[in-house]
Amino acid sequence: MRVQLGRQLLDRQLVDADGLLLGKVDDVAFALDEQGVPYVAYLLTGQGALGQRIGGRVGRLLVTLADRLTEETPGPLRIPIGQVARIDSAVRLRVRADELPRPPVEAWLRRHLIDRIPGADRASG
């Protein structure tokens, strides 16, 4: 499948197999095949990926915040390109949200903020 990254992939909404909105495609990661030809291997989402893509002071701030708010391995959520079912007005995945790791910043916010709100255990998540 040929895709123009800037027009058809970046900043598109990510939608899981159940129609749940997961965020946006903030960047992509490339790999090389056996002949040395680059291809998109992963879709990246999260503040760290967006910060790396936009660069400058604002980008560095986003990356720093994302790194500081993660206790596990920092970095963006990486979705293998093989989990993409189709690309139209959104990037539709073959998998459900609960089959993907939570974005690091979201996991930190849930643990340290949201879960401390009375009644948060009854909210969807």
Closest by CA position to 100, among listed 124, 122, 83: 83
Among the listed residues 91, 89, 87, the one whose alpha carbon sits nearest the alpha carbon of residue 77: 91
Beta sheet of 21-24, edge-to-edge order: 21-24, 13-15, 90-93, 84-87
Of the segments 45-54, 58-67, 80-89, which one has the largest average pLDDT value?
Answer: 80-89
pLDDT at 9 over 80: yes
**Is 125's pLDDT higher than 60?**
no
> What structural domains does the chain harbor?
5-122 (2.30.30.240)
The pTM (predicted TM-score) of the whole model is 0.65
Residue 43 has pLDDT above 80, yes or no: yes
